[in-house]
């Protein structure tokens, strides 16, 4: 994953932020929307693209585009920096290959402990019954 190449592939749009803020919000486009085309990326190899498609399946559009937005700051430049950092963090997290789980069987000792516990429980419950008259 080449960060410099990936950052060059990003496209940005600006929009007006939502929420309270007075007259300033109505005049300034401080919200930044980042778009990244995963399918046509040059900075990622085929295996990385496959991993990211699986990891980011819920975040990608039908065309394989990842959209992120940021409107945390009043400054457009700060929002752009924040959204780029968020994008790189998401990619880094998506490229981590999960460890395969190795199936294990319970040990003989644990099986014996479980049986002993079951017998003990059964004895306690049988003592709660009324005594038989024989």
Average pLDDT value for the chain: 89
CATH number at residue 16: 3.30.160.20
What is the extent of the structural domain holding 32? 3-94
Look at residue 53 and tell me if it is in a domain.
yes
pTM flag (> 0.85): no
Look at residue 130 and tell me if it is in a domain.
no
36, β-bridge pairs: 66
Q: How far apart are CA 95 and CA 93, in angstroms?
A: 6
The tally of CA atoms less than 13 A away on the side-chain side of residue 67 is 7
Stretch 31-59: mean pLDDT: 91
Look at residue 102 and tell me if it is in a domain.
no
Look at residue 27 and tell me if it is in a domain.
yes
pLDDT per position as a tens digit, 62-98: 988 999 999 888 888 999 999 999 999 999 999 998 8
State how many domains the chain has: 1
Distances (CA, A) of 65 to 3, 48, 49, 60, 84: 18, 15, 12, 5, 15
């Amino acid at each position: 994953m080449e960060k410099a190449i990936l950052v060059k592939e990003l496209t940005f749009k600006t929009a007006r932020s939502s929420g309270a803020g007075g007259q300033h919000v109505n005049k300034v486009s401080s919200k930044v929307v980042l778009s990244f085309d995963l399918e046509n990326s040059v900075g990622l190899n085929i295996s990385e693209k496959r991993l990211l498609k699986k990891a980011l399946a819920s975040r990608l559009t039908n065309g394989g585009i990842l959209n992120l937005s940021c409107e945390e700051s009043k400054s457009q430049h700060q929002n752009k920096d924040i959204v780029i950092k968020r994008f790189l963090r998401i990619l880094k997290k998506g490229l981590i290959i999960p460890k395969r789980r190795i199936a294990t069987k319970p040990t003989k000792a644990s099986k014996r402990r479980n049986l002993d516990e079951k017998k003990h429980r059964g004895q306690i419950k049988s003592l709660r019954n009324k005594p038989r008259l024989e």
